[in-house]
Amino acid sequence: MNTHLTLTDQDIIAGIKQKNKEIEAFFYRTHKDKCIQFALKKFFWKQPDGMTIQCDIEDAEEIYNDACVLFVHNVLKDRITQLDAKLSTYLITTMRYNWMNKARSTKRTTPAQEEGSSETDSTNESMRINVRKAIHRLDPKCRAMMTYRYILGWEDYDDIAKATGKGNGDVIRNLLSRCRKRFREHYVQTINFSGI
C-alpha cells in the first residue's frame, strides 16, 4: 500500500467504482482516525430520564465501519456519484445517524436479526426487491435523494443539502417530495408488473 497516495474525494469515488482495492483501503484508513475522534468527542445521546450516553471507542469503530460499508456500496450501485461536501463530512453525518439509531432504540432490528414467519420474510424480500427496482428507475439526482433520506436514514434536510450541495433544507424538501412521488409511481408500476 502506498502510504503517500494523495487523492481527491472524486478520485476516491472513481477508484471505488473501478473496484480498486488500494484506493478502497486508502479511503478507509485516511478518514478513520478523524471520524472516530469526532464521534468520541461529539456523539452522545440523552435519554428521557436525563442520563447521557456517550459514544465509546467500540461504538465509534462500529459506526465508522458501517458508514464506510454504506458509502462503498452506494458508490458501487451508482446511487452516489459525486459529493459536494467533504467525504469526511459525509461519513460523519452517516455515523451520526447510525449512532442515533443505535442509541435511541434497541428495538430497531437489522435484517439479519429479524424474526418472523417465512411468509412475512418472503413478502418483505419481495418488497425490498421492488423498492430497489423503483429506485433504480429514478434519475441519478432522485436516486441520490432517496438514498440519503431512506437508505441512509438521514432525517434532516439540511444535512442532505450540505452533502449534495443542493441549496438548503427547503430545496431538499421540495426536491425530495418530487422524487418520492416518482418513486411511488415506479413502485406501484413495479408491483403491478411483478404481480406482487
Q: Which residues bind other proteins (CB under 8 A)?
A: 1, 21, 24-25, 28-29, 32, 49, 51-54, 56, 61, 65-66, 68-70, 72-73, 76, 110-112, 124-125, 127-132, 150-151, 155, 173, 177, 180-181, 184-185, 187-188
**69 or 168: CB nearest other proteins:** 69
Q: Give the nearest distance from C-beta 2 to other proteins in angstroms.
A: 14
Nearer to other proteins, 69 or 167 (CB): 69
- CB nearer to other proteins: give 36 or 84: 36
Instruction: Classify residue 14 by burial, with Cβ atoms within 10 Å: 0-12, 13-18, 19+.
Output: middle
- Residue 69 CB, shortest distance to other proteins, in Å, is 5
Alpha helix stretches (DSSP H) within the chain: 9-17, 21-42, 57-76, 87-104, 118-136, 140-146, 157-164, 169-194
Q: Classify each residue of 29-49 as buried b or exposed e, where b means 16 or more C-beta atoms within 10 Å of its C-beta.
A: ebbbeebbebbeeebeeeeee
Report the residue number, 84 or 177, with the smaller CB distance to other proteins.
177
Would you tell me how many other CB atoms lie within 10 Å of the CB of residue 133? 16
Phi, psi of 52, deg, nearest 5: -110, 130
CB of 165 to other proteins, least distance (A): 23
